[in-house]
Amino acid sequence: MGNAKKMYRENGMSIVLDTSDVTCLLFGHKSGTRVKDPNGKKATLIGVASGKGCDSGSDVMWYQVDGKKYVEYHDASRDLEETGFEILKK
């Protein structure tokens, strides 16, 4: 699964995320980038996959909030920072 990572959604369903630089950089950042979400929670960007059931219906960036076992998705424009995410420095 070189550029893929199996994760779980909050509902327990598994999802395979594309973690390749080529795909993640469509959203402006690589997998592993540390962020603060619009709610102020620190998280890690994991990868890209379909946003089935989300408003856009297209690929979305999935991230994992610190301390959570599941991933969530960013359902908005591809620019994370314009939609309230803050990129954290290493």
What per-residue confidence (pLDDT) applies to 63? 95
Lowest mean per-residue pLDDT among 9-13, 21-25, 36-40, 73-77: 73-77
The helix/strand/coil state of 82 is helix
Read off the pTM: 0.87
Question: What is the rounded distance in angstroms from the CA atom of residue 14 to the CA atom of residue 65?
Answer: 17
Domain ranges of the chain: 4-87
Q: Which residue has the higher pLDDT, 78 or 11?
A: 11
Burial of 5 (0-12, 13-18, 19+ CB in 10 A): middle
56 pLDDT more than 60: no
CA angle 53, 55, 60 (to 5 degrees): 80
Report the share of the chain in percent with pLDDT over 90: 52
